[in-house]
Structure 1
Amino acid sequence: MPILIALLAAAAPLFAMATERWGGLNPCLLCLWQRWPYWVAAGLAVLALVLPRRLMLALAGLAVLVSGAFAVVHLGVEAKWWPSPLPGCMAPNASPGQTIDQMMASLAPRPAKPCDEPTYLIPGLPVTMAGMNLIYALGLGGFAFWAASRRKG
């Protein structure tokens, strides 16, 4: 069970990276933040092989739910219910007294996708990537907690 949870946790950020490489999707900063808890969860699930199994799997489930919490924030930003808490999601703006050269130098080398611009993976399906992550995080987090509650056997 720990290896399965580790593989399922690692699958989420790997799938997201594949959509960038082969699907041409550009992630925003909130998208990137949703990935790291899955790597933590995968590591914790692997540690369940040598450390207390129930504790490590429960912590893995909690880590996955942290990604789900980031997804909720991201969904709210996409729906324009609230602004992004990350300054990197904001469009750059000029400070008084800045020259054009200074403004150009402050721009990121690669254009970033705004966090409030929803990304839909499947045409016609009204669920954004953040929404899919929330559904996946709730399912995998619940599965990890269920696995943690089972007797080893």
Structure 2
Amino acid sequence: MSRFLILIATAGSAALLLGAFGFQYIGDMPPCKLCIWQRYPHGGAIAIGILALALPMAVLPYLGALAASVTAGIGAYHTGVEHGWWEGPNSCTSGPIGDLSSEDLMQQIMSAPLVRCDDVPWEMFGMSMASWNAIASLLLAMIWIAAANHMRKNRI
């Protein structure tokens, strides 16, 4: 049972990562900085899942849960940035100009990324990709924890 749960959690991260690449390359929606940050923990979860399938150690599913939780947290943070609940990184959101000279302003404009983190390029049922990633990743974290608990209970 734990191997099946690990396989589901690993496949879930792979599906979310493939979906993100699909939106990027097929849907022509380049990712922002926070979108890219959400991808790294999924890659880690996939690697952990492969390792956990090869070496059944109870600590590995907990690490998978941690990776899924991290990407869920980044997705939740990104959702807040998109809704204007808080500011995102200066490198990917618009903000006040402040006391910049015209040269500094031009430099800031020219060095700004093309994709802003506070824009929502796609949504379904009123939720952005970041929101869906946060929800799906929390579900994956619960699957990882269930796998870890099953392994621990059965002393695998």
What interval of TM-score do these two structures reach, taking the shorter chain for normalisation? 0.7 to 0.9
Deviation digits for residues 36-87 of structure 1 (CA, Å, limit 9, x no counterpart) = 0011111111121344522101110111110000011111111101100x23
CA contact (8 A) 1:38 1:64 kept: yes
Q: Which residue of 2 aligns with 1:70?
A: 74
TM-superposed CA distance for 1:134, in Å, is 1.0
Q: Which has the higher contact order (CA 8 A, sep 6+)?
A: 2
Deviation digits for residues 126-148 of structure 1 (CA, Å, limit 9, x no counterpart) = 11101110111011111111111
Question: Residues 99 and 138 from structure 1, CA distance in 2 versus in 1: closer, same or farther, beyond 3 angstroms?
Answer: closer
Task: In structure 1, give the amino acid aligned to 2:120.
Answer: P
TM-superposed CA distance for 1:34, in Å, is 0.7
Q: Distance in 2 between matches of 1:99 and 1:6?
A: 46
Task: In structure 2, give the amino acid aligned to 1:68.
Answer: A
Q: Which residue of 1 aligns with 2:91?
A: 88
Q: Which residue of 2 aligns with 1:143?
A: 143
CA contact (8 A) 1:61 1:145 kept: yes
SS of the residue corresponding to residue 66 of structure 1 reads: helix
Unaligned runs of 5+ in 1: none
Task: In structure 2, give the amino acid aligned to 1:120.
Answer: W
Q: Distance in 2 between matches of 1:144 and 1:87?
A: 34
| Backbone CA RMSD of aligned residues | 2.6
Count of aligned pairs between the two proteins: 147
Q: Which residue of 1 aligns with 2:115?
A: 113
Q: Which residue of 1 aligns with 2:36?
A: 32
Task: In structure 1, give the amino acid aligned to 2:127.
Answer: V
Question: Residues 63 and 104 from structure 1, CA distance in 2 versus in 1: closer, same or farther, beyond 3 angstroms?
Answer: closer
The structure with the largest helix share of the pair is 2
Q: Mapping of 1:1-12 within 5 angstroms? A: 1=4, 2-12=6-16
Q: Distance in 1 between matches of 2:130 and 2:28?
A: 17
Q: Mapping of 1:43-54 within 5 angstroms? A: 43-54=47-58
Q: Distance in 1 between matches of 2:100 and 2:8?
A: 51
Structure 1-normalised TM-score?
0.81
TM-superposed CA distance for 1:22, in Å, is 1.0
